[in-house]
Structure 1
Amino acid sequence: MSHHGKTLPAPPSTCLSGEPHGHRVSDPTVHYFGCLRVSKRDRFFNTLPLESKQRILRRIDRIDDLRHRLETAQCDTTAAARLRDFKHAMSNWFAAVDRPHASFTPGTAFESSSRRPSGMTAYFGSEDLVNDYIKAPVVYFKDGRPFDVPGLSNSFPSQKVIMSDLLSEDETRNPLMQSVEEGTVRYFHLPANNMAWVEEAMARYYHERPPDSEDLFLKSKSRRPRTKTEMLLRPEYWQGQQNYEADSEVHARHMRPLCSGISTNLVSSESNANNLALFMPYLHWETDRGRINLTRIVKEVGKQSLNTVAEVADQVQHHMADPQAARDTSEQAPPVTQPSGSEEEEKDEKPEKKRRKAIANILRTAAALLEAMDLHTEEQLMCKYLHAKTPLHPRRTLDQSYYGALKSTGTRDRDQVVYRGTTPAPHVCTTGCSECDEADDIDDVKLHKCTSKKKGCPLCNEDARKVPRIIMVDQLWLWILDEQTVITSFPRTWGKHKPDPSAIHKSLRMRFKYAREGEVSSAYDLALMIVDECSRVFFDRTKTNDRQPNLVELFNGAIRDLTYKQTAAFDQFLIYTHLASRDYKRQRSLSDDNSTQNTLLNINPEGYLLKEVKDIIDEIHIMMRIKEQQQSVMESFVKHIRRRLVPIARQKKATASQPSTSWDVVLGAMMQDAGSPYSDETFGAREEQEREEARRTLSRADHLLSDLEERIAELRTQLQNAQNTSAALKDLLTLKQQQAGVIEAREAVKQAQLTLKQGQSIMIFTIVTIIFLPLSFCVGFFGMNAIELNDGLVPLQSIYKYLFPVSTGIILVAFLFAFSQAVFNNSVVALGRSAVSFAYNTTLTWLLVKTNLYVVGREMNTLANRLRDREATVTGTMKAEVLRNEKNIKRMHAADHVRGLTRRQTTQPRPNENDGIASGRTTPFSPYSVGAPGSPFAPPQGNKGLGVSMTELDLEMGEGVSVRRPSSQRYLVPTAGSRHSPGQI
């Protein structure tokens, strides 16, 4: 590269500028701070033009101002601690290289930048270290066209004002207090959900003092009339909508969804109000690192501002015990991180190793300082407003918005679908060369020349660029004041130096920049754009941003992966079920190969998949709940817009038939003048333009609701897919449970068969033992060397003396070891009872036999048996006779009933009746009449008693009893079936 005909040398490796430069450089600021030594900067600064000098001076002022903020912060921030660590690392570096440098002492006062050119004084900002360094975007539209506000830097739509000016009471500095012309719409954005900022801004808009937060809840504390700010911030529209309690978690703070018109006039009603308040949650994202920093800062601020009673009591006791030590402890700075290692090891280290360690410590502390500087503004904001009377609402994660009572949701946050989809997955590292990856040993790798251009693992290089992210739930606070001013408040992602194209206000500015003329003609058009942009963060397909996670695709991909795994698990289940059935048919024991059985009985894989599906369903439920809240708020918002704009969209010009008022006559006269602004043409064009703008606004409102319904339908589809996968996994677990029951049943059958076989084997051994036991006894007995048996030497009595005691002892010891103590005790008791019973029975039997009592008892027992049999016979006979009598009586009643029926039939006179029978007075014999010939109730000849034969009655009743004797003889002579003859009685 040449410059003025001369070739410029390439930049040194330590230069921050990436372009070649020499005497004249393309970026003097980068060259000044990154290439030159401190001793050469003054000479280079004097050779620069005025514009470059001003740029360097502005950069130096910002650096000095930032150092001043870090060292004079109200609370000990992370950035201030990192700055002290960096100074200490620099001191160690200069000591390692033996260069003179002022040693670092903690707690030193701020030093002005030594790198400032001579003759220049340092500039420090104001004392408000929060509001002076936070800027609020300002956007103006005039007659539907972009408008630049005089006195503000930059141009539309990137104009901003610092928060201290926006909250100032000086009307010349505060654009919120300045009046606007008709047809102008202005928009102010507060970059955090800070209730204190909102109350200050509303008071400045109405040129009033901000209301006391406690007085807002008192309806009639005094008789003075309410101010407009108090009317706008009434409890039912402001603090009453806040979900916050003193003992609740910080992340539980949020405003309940609301959209309502508010009137600042005591006379007018809310239906005709020109003001509107809207609170709506929406989805956004944040890096996992930002979430960790947010959680850490919230805890640190809580410890500094909300000390417990025990901590305060300990501090008071410590101060009272030793005031001087307590003073020294309070003035001591936080400890600085020291490098590891003892002093003796540091003395023995080589100078080269010390320099390397010092450089590594400088790089580490510089990286930590850079991150802390990036978050310093947000940390100061949290430190000042997090626990104020009107507190700041921090950002919430997806689980924090739903589980507000949990103290910590870090584990659940890292279980989000988006976090798993944007986090590097564990893998086996490869070098990028196929031969190196396939080599089994390092020596094998050295045998070939590696052709891989990438050093290291390609997957690791790709994972290094991944940034884990999570879903956040932010809040949109929006007010429309007098239909000309729109004020919003919503947070942004953490870190001011990291560009975020997906930020809501960044997207709004791009949308304002490319808006068509007349697209933003009213405050309602502006509010519809803001609400739509908040609602479509993850559903806008036109945005291609590498940092913003693709929520829809991540959830669809996760559900697809789980569905695929569920299908694979089902196929695996069928395969292993088939293998188990085949093994069972082949009479092959599953114990030979436990892999099939273990796979069928293991539910851990399906349980893990079911847990993942449950997490996905929970997250979709939470997002759908947020979208439904958005829908409720938007419907109320569109209803308010329709109430305001529908009359304008439907209005028509007055016709000649309509009656005219006095104002109509004056207006008609003015409209006849062609040069008047109220002429017929001008007034008609303005009316038509207002109607057209109102119709466009109403159309956008309808499109907004339809778009939101499509997004909810998309989430509902994802939820249905996840639920189908969950149901399939539950069915698979049910099938596994049933298969486990089948396996248990098969195993039980096999165990029963094995038990049966063992029982048969034991039976065979028992039979063999029974056969050979007496044979063995006989052989052993007759084989004894006894005098009585085999002409032996030992008498049989002597053998018994040793045989039975020894056998008894061995048997008792065997039983003692074979059975448990309880069984043994029960056996001993049973044995004792049997012995006593045997002795008792033997003695009693001997006495009965010897005294002839046995014969007497035998005879008495025989007589008792006879009497018992006779009693049974007599009792049975009596019962049978009673039953027969009852049946005979029933038959007699039946015969009388039949006789009565026959008598009624024969009472009428007949033409051919006999002479000897009186008509109507006598009844012919019925075959069922008692005593009639041929009747079954006719008594036999020679029997004057009952008209029924006992033998016939017994046969007819099925008694099966032979002919009975009269009852008077039954007690004397037994029947033929009796056991005893008459002579035996």
Structure 2
Amino acid sequence: MREALSTDGRLYQQADLRNSVFNEVNADLTARCENSWDLAALLALHAVTVLFERSSHPDLEIFRIFEEAISILTEKMTNSFKRFRALGFRDKAIDHDDAVRTTNIRAKHKLEGELAEKQNRENTSALLELRDIEDELKTLAKLFEIQAKAIQDMTTHYKSNELKHLTHNGLPFLEQAAEKLQEYTSQTEKMIKHVQSTREDFDKLLQMVQRQAQVDEVRLSRLQADLASAQSRSVMIFTTFTVIFLPLTFFTGLFGMNTREWGGGTFLHLRTIGIISIPASFTIITLALIVAWSTRMRKLFSTTHKFFNSLILNSKTWVVETIRNLNLKAIKDIDARKKSMEVKKEKRRRKEAKRQATFLDEDFWEGHTLGREKAYQVPLQNRRSIREERVRMMKGMGSGERGTLR
């Protein structure tokens, strides 16, 4: 036994045998252990009862969990019996259940089959759950049997003359453990019997459902036979009227034809019409009978029909794929055109930004120096000689005006 860690969780801490023994030895003064024999008996008692009586968490109450599971399955079985009794002997041809009410007989049978399959699936799953519970309870009973044998062996050794004076405190622990094991065993056997009875009831229910399904199938077959008989009677009546009016129809069509013998004029002779119509009718009737009674011809027509259907389907698929590819190509072209325009706009924007940056970074004197190096000529009005000559002329004109005034 190792010490429980804080990371083990609450369930493990409550089901830990070491903590259970440690807490009782330190807290309960009546459970004193004077030697190792007493401690071994106390350990045996706690090993028997730690999972059944010394845990306060609801998920560790083993017997309560099994009892709740058995109660749920028993209730499900009772509801299934009530539903089966409420349905009773159902007539599938005139069933008034909204879940299977439909105008299509095939769809109706399909829905009925789905409902029956669902109910059988629920009952089968309940049977499987009961079998698993029974196996687990039998495992517990086997464990209790092994523990009871071990407790009995320990009690025999403790009552021997050699250890009797050392085990007077340990014997009550072993006796209490034996009583608990007997109680647990009887409770487990009781639940096993309950599970077995519930399983037998489910088996009976499934047998009753199966017999009811067989009876319904027989009744449905009889109703279908009655329906087929009524349909054959209707067909016979229709055939009788057809046979009665067949000669009248034949003579009406014969004497209603435009022939030269009966109508004169430029109509065809009755003989010519007979030469054309009789072989054509015979050929059509022969082909129809061959197609109706020949398996090879039916297969040939079926294969031809499938071939044309597949050809039409492939043509539709090809047209759809072609249109889709054209659309994808057009979309790709539009995207490429948009990307090209965006690239051109980006180039123009970068060029304009570069030009503006160059204009702002220009040095006037540097440009002037470069212009001079490129044979830049100073305008005439800006040359020094012209300016000096202009100054002399202005001075001469000024002195002439002063002489005139004198």
The 1-side partners of 2:14 and 2:97 are apart by 62
How far residue 618 of structure 1 moved from its aligned partner, in angstroms, is 2.8
Is 1:711–2:184 an aligned residue pair?
yes
State the secondary structure of the residue aligned to 1:539. coil
Q: Is this contact kept in 1: 2:38–2:167, CA < 8 A?
A: no
Q: Return the letter of the residue paired with 1:811.
A: I
1:960-980 deviation line (CA, Å, top 9, x unaligned): xxxxxxxxxxxxxxxxxxxxx
1:205-233 deviation line (CA, Å, top 9, x unaligned): xxxxxxxxxxxxxxxxxxxxxxxxxxxxx
Structure 2 counterparts to residues 850-889 of structure 1, below 5 A: none
The 1-side partners of 2:31 and 2:216 are apart by 76
Structure 2 counterparts to residues 668-687 of structure 1, below 5 A: none
Match of 1:619 among 123, 126, 136: 136
How far residue 797 of structure 1 moved from its aligned partner, in angstroms, is 3.0
State the secondary structure of the residue aligned to 1:500. helix
Structure 2 counterparts to residues 871-950 of structure 1, below 5 A: none
How far residue 550 of structure 1 moved from its aligned partner, in angstroms, is 1.6
State the secondary structure of the residue aligned to 2:60. coil
Partner residue in 2 for 1:577: 88
Match of 1:563 among 71, 74, 77: 74
The 1-side partners of 2:176 and 2:196 are apart by 30
Is 1:604–2:77 an aligned residue pair?
no
Partner residue in 2 for 1:530: 43
Partner residue in 2 for 1:803: 277
Q: Is this contact kept in 1: 2:4–2:19, CA < 8 A?
A: no
The 2-side partners of 1:506 and 1:532 are apart by 14
Q: Is this contact kept in 2: 1:538–1:550, CA < 8 A?
A: yes
How far residue 809 of structure 1 moved from its aligned partner, in angstroms, is 3.4
Q: Is this contact kept in 1: 2:158–2:167, CA < 8 A?
A: no
The 2-side partners of 1:780 and 1:594 are apart by 50
Q: Is this contact kept in 1: 2:52–2:60, CA < 8 A?
A: no
Q: Return the letter of the residue paired with 1:726.
A: R
1:760-802 deviation line (CA, Å, top 9, x unaligned): 0111112222222234334444555556678785444322210
**Residues 646 and 514 of structure 1, relative CA distance in 2, 3 Å threshold:** farther
The 2-side partners of 1:496 and 1:794 are apart by 109
Partner residue in 1 for 2:146: 629
Aligned pairs, number: 286
Q: Looking at both structures, which has the greater relative contact order when contacts are Cα pairs under 8 Å and sequence separation is at least 6?
A: 2
**Residues 626 and 751 of structure 1, relative CA distance in 2, 3 Å threshold:** same
Match of 2:155 among 638, 645, 651: 638
State the secondary structure of the residue aligned to 2:88. helix
Q: Return the letter of the residue paired with 2:245.
A: F
How far residue 530 of structure 1 moved from its aligned partner, in angstroms, is 0.6
The TM-score normalised by the length of structure 1 is: 0.26
**Residues 569 and 743 of structure 1, relative CA distance in 2, 3 Å threshold:** same
The 1-side partners of 2:58 and 2:199 are apart by 31
Instruction: In structure 1, list runs of 5 or more residues that go unmatched.
Output: 1-189, 192-490, 650-689, 826-985
C-alpha root-mean-square deviation of aligned residues, in Å?
A: 3.6
The 1-side partners of 2:291 and 2:184 are apart by 79
Partner residue in 2 for 1:500: 13
Over the matched positions of the two proteins, sequence identity in percent amounts to 25
1:327-378 deviation line (CA, Å, top 9, x unaligned): xxxxxxxxxxxxxxxxxxxxxxxxxxxxxxxxxxxxxxxxxxxxxxxxxxxx
The 2-side partners of 1:539 and 1:785 are apart by 107
The 1-side partners of 2:285 and 2:214 are apart by 46
How far residue 573 of structure 1 moved from its aligned partner, in angstroms, is 2.0
Partner residue in 1 for 2:233: 760
State the secondary structure of the residue aligned to 1:603. helix
The 2-side partners of 1:494 and 1:641 are apart by 37
How far residue 523 of structure 1 moved from its aligned partner, in angstroms, is 2.7
1:377-436 deviation line (CA, Å, top 9, x unaligned): xxxxxxxxxxxxxxxxxxxxxxxxxxxxxxxxxxxxxxxxxxxxxxxxxxxxxxxxxxxx
The 2-side partners of 1:537 and 1:809 are apart by 96
The 2-side partners of 1:615 and 1:756 are apart by 52
How far residue 628 of structure 1 moved from its aligned partner, in angstroms, is 2.8
The TM-score normalised by the length of structure 2 is: 0.59
**Residues 710 and 591 of structure 1, relative CA distance in 2, 3 Å threshold:** closer
Is 1:722–2:195 an aligned residue pair?
yes
Q: Is this contact kept in 2: 1:613–1:722, CA < 8 A?
A: yes
State the secondary structure of the residue aligned to 2:147. helix
Structure 2 counterparts to residues 255-266 of structure 1, below 5 A: none
**Residues 553 and 824 of structure 1, relative CA distance in 2, 3 Å threshold:** closer
Partner residue in 1 for 2:100: 594
1:121-172 deviation line (CA, Å, top 9, x unaligned): xxxxxxxxxxxxxxxxxxxxxxxxxxxxxxxxxxxxxxxxxxxxxxxxxxxx
Q: Is this contact kept in 1: 2:41–2:173, CA < 8 A?
A: yes
Q: Return the letter of the residue paired with 1:727.
A: E
The 2-side partners of 1:824 and 1:547 are apart by 72
Q: Return the letter of the residue paired with 2:46.
A: E
How far residue 818 of structure 1 moved from its aligned partner, in angstroms, is 4.8
Q: Is this contact kept in 2: 1:600–1:736, CA < 8 A?
A: no
Q: Is this contact kept in 2: 1:570–1:732, CA < 8 A?
A: yes
Match of 1:745 among 215, 218, 224: 218
Partner residue in 1 for 2:107: none
**Residues 517 and 723 of structure 1, relative CA distance in 2, 3 Å threshold:** closer
**Residues 610 and 494 of structure 1, relative CA distance in 2, 3 Å threshold:** farther
